[in-house]
């Protein structure tokens, strides 16, 4: 019977057999293949060897730096040292002085040292972090050095800039407090001061009652206590982030007790004499006022080694024509004066406004304002001395604004900021409240925000902050005077007697000497001179009207003509009347505009 059945259905049976065998093979082979897939892995090669640059960064990175992190003083020094080693022809690296605690204040000088005399190029000075907790200024300055070095020879703009200008880049002028902010327990606001011990509460002891990291988590957060008569409660949606006032008709839940600490010296007060206790940005010798007018000013201007080091350095570099100092926070491009009625010439204000208008475009959500008018009064600030004392057009950027969290023209509310922490940072930035037994208050709670939240950007926004701020200072630097001898016109008056007109132009916005500089005779006047072996200059002067050929003659030494300034996007014409023959050299010597020479043969 089987036989009959098999014979009858032979072809069908064959089909079934083929089908099931195939199925078996497909399944088993696939299982094997799956097993192989699970075991297959890419080679663990270094991703950097297979990476490609996005725009704005150079392809070849001689010095790798992660710009979404922060660096302490040693880390910052390491970046500068590596840059100097990798780019010896573009950099000089030196200390301009020491801090109270003996840390070096590093300056990296960036320019093309093979082109021209570096010490005579228009100079741009940039520093950061005068306030110890305002850390990211340091990273902006170091990023600027890193960027300039890597882009020289690659981008025409950067090459031209380093060929004609010199950058003095000082990442931190308060290295003591910078280090303490990173290494000691601090909040986002503390460690602003320099670290010379100071008797804040006049009890004869110095720095004896600083904050205390009571729960040992490395951060100074807030203290709160359960209190039915307190006027605070946790925000219903963001209880860890936000303490809000209870409604007027609502019973209280908590009282706030300030930053973490105990009464270290038993004087009945908490955290009343913290480390340091003064403000290095009130210690500068222009419009300075004593401590009773301006808190933090110290005993006299430049009393601190850090501010004095910067002043000595700037005085030794009369070629500095532009400056910038970085603070945080607020998203502001600040210009002087620091007080109402402070010195600011109309023409200088105009130049500052023009430059900062470009800055507002480069830096979304940043606003350009005058310090005294829109912010608060500052006596003896760094910016005041740079402009007032040295006639240098200077800005101070308040880095980072919360408007950047959601890219909105208005600052986000407290709730919106809490939302950002919760949904964008996934809660990073918060320290949950926990109980603590306080020697004075008893059972309290400690917690709140991490010190990195509020005044500095999160990692993924930091790099943008660095680049955009640098771009603004590069524009500012590019606006420093660029002098050219436009034309030398020689007119023969009679045999061996010539009238020579030299036209010098300034192709940039900033004059060789600012209004402040001219009014107070800060830097020497620009000098245009004529020299030749067989030539004697009989008379000379500045041409005041080139059409009517009016000349303001010099009284003595006609071979040199002093000019008050060569204006921004302007020119000056100098006339020499000389007798003789052969070739002559015209030299233009300007402290902030540089030196240039041109030779010509008399006809
Ligand atoms: Zn500041």
pLDDT on residue 593: 98
Q: What is the pLDDT of residues 462-483, one digit of tens each?
A: 999 999 999 999 999 999 999 9
| Integer CA distances (angstroms), 33 to 21, 23, 40, 43, in order | 18, 15, 10, 20
Confidence of residue 160 (pLDDT cuts 50, 70, 90): very high
The per-residue b/e assignment along 162-181, b for 16 or more CB within 10 angstroms, e otherwise, is: bebbbbbbbbbbbbbbbbbb
pTM assigned to the model: 0.93
pLDDT on residue 11: 74
**Cα–Cα distance between 499 and 82 in angstroms, integer?**
55
- Going from the Cα of 137 to the center of ligand 1, the distance in angstroms, rounded, reads 10
Confidence of residue 516 (pLDDT cuts 50, 70, 90): very high
Residue 569 contacts residue 508 (beta carbons within 8 Å): yes
Q: What is the pLDDT of residues 353-409, one digit of tens each?
A: 999 999 999 999 999 999 999 999 999 999 999 999 999 999 999 999 999 999 999
pLDDT on residue 26: 67
- Going from the Cα of 463 to the center of ligand 1, the distance in angstroms, rounded, reads 20
pLDDT on residue 12: 78
Confidence of residue 38 (pLDDT cuts 50, 70, 90): confident
- Going from the Cα of 128 to the center of ligand 1, the distance in angstroms, rounded, reads 9
Residues, Cβ < 5 Å to ion ligand 1: 131, 134, 327
pLDDT on residue 24: 77
Confidence of residue 2 (pLDDT cuts 50, 70, 90): low
Average pLDDT, the chain: 95
Q: Is the pLDDT of residue 206 over 70?
A: yes
Q: If 0-12 CB within 10 Å is exposed, 13-18 middle and 19+ buried, where does residue 324 land?
A: buried
Q: Two tokens at 566?
A: 């060569």
- Going from the Cα of 311 to the center of ligand 1, the distance in angstroms, rounded, reads 18
Q: Is the pLDDT of residue 30 over 80?
A: no
Average pLDDT for residues 39-60, to the nearest whole number? 89
pLDDT on residue 389: 98
Q: Is the pLDDT of residue 1 over 60?
A: no
- Going from the Cα of 330 to the center of ligand 1, the distance in angstroms, rounded, reads 10
- Going from the Cα of 398 to the center of ligand 1, the distance in angstroms, rounded, reads 7
The angle at the Cα of 131, spanning 130 to 137, to the nearest 5 degrees, equals 70
- Going from the Cα of 193 to the center of ligand 1, the distance in angstroms, rounded, reads 10
**Cα–Cα distance between 313 and 136 in angstroms, integer?**
23
Confidence of residue 19 (pLDDT cuts 50, 70, 90): confident
What residue has token string 């208005």?
410
DSSP string, 60-78: --SS---TTS---HHHHHH
């Amino acid at each position: 019977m089987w036989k009959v059945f098999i014979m009858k259905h032979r072809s069908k049976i064959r089909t079934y057999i083929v089908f099931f065998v195939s199925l078996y093979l497909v399944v088993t082979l696939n299982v094997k293949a799956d097993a192989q897939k699970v075991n297959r892995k890419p080679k663990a090669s270094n991703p950097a060897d297979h990476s490609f640059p996005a725009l704005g960064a150079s392809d070849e990175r001689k010095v790798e730096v992660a710009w979404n992190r922060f660096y302490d003083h040693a880390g910052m020094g390491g970046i500068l040292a590596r840059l100097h080693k990798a780019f010896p022809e573009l950099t000089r690296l030196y200390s301009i002085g020491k801090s109270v605690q003996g840390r070096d204040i590093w300056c990296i000088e960036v320019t093309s040292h093979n082109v021209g005399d570096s010490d005579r190029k228009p100079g741009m000075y940039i520093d950061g972090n005068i306030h110890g907790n305002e850390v990211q200024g340091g990273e902006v300055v170091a990023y600027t050095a890193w960027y300039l070095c890597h882009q020289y020879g690659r981008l025409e703009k950067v090459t031209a800039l380093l060929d004609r200008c010199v950058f003095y880049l000082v990442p931190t002028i308060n290295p003591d407090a910078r280090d303490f902010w990173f290494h000691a327990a601090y909040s986002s606001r503390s460690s602003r001061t320099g670290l010379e011990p100071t008797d804040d509460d006049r009890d004869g002891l110095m720095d004896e009652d600083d904050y205390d990291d009571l729960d040992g988590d490395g951060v100074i957060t807030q203290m709160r206590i359960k209190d039915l008569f307190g006027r605070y409660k946790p925000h219903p949606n963001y209880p860890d982030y936000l303490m809000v006032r209870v409604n007027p008709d609502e019973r209280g839940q908590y009282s706030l007790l300030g930053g973490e600490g105990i009464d270290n010296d038993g004087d009945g007060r908490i955290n009343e004499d913290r480390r340091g206790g003064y403000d290095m940005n009130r210690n500068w010798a222009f419009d300075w006022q004593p401590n009773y007018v301006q808190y933090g000013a110290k005993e006299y201007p430049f009393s601190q080694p850090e501010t004095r080091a910067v002043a000595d350095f700037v005085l030794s570099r009369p070629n500095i024509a532009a400056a910038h100092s970085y603070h945080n926070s607020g998203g502001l491009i600040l210009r002087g004066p620091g007080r109402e009625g402070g010195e600011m010439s109309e023409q200088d204000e105009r130049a500052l406004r023009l430059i900062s208008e470009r800055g507002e475009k480069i830096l979304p959500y940043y606003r350009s304002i005058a310090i005294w008018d829109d912010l608060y009064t500052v006596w003896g600030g760094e910016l005041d001395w740079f402009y007032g004392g040295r006639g240098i057009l200077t800005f101070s950027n308040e880095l980072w604004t919360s408007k950047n969290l959601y890219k909105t023209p208005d600052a986000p509310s407290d709730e919106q900021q809490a939302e950002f922490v919760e949904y964008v940072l996934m809660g990073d930035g918060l320290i949950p409240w926990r109980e603590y037994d306080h020697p004075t208050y008893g059972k309290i709670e400690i917690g709140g925000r991490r010190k990195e939240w509020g005044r500095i950007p999160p990692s993924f926004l930091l790099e943008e902050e660095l680049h955009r701020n640098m771009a603004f200072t590069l524009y500012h630097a590019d606006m420093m005077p660029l002098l050219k001898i436009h034309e030398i016109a020689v007119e023969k008056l009679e045999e061996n007697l010539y009238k020579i007109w030299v036209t010098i132009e300034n192709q940039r916005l900033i004059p060789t000497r600012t209004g402040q500089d001219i009014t107070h005779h800060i830097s020497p006047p620009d000098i245009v001179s004529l020299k030749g072996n067989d030539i004697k200059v009989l008379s000379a002067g500045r041409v005041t009207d080139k059409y009517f050929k009016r000349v303001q003659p010099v009284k003595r030494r006609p071979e040199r003509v002093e000019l008050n300034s060569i204006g921004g996007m302007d020119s000056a014409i100098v006339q020499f009347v000389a007798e003789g023959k052969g070739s002559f050299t015209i030299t233009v010597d300007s402290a902030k505009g540089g030196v240039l020479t041109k030779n010509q043969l008399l006809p």
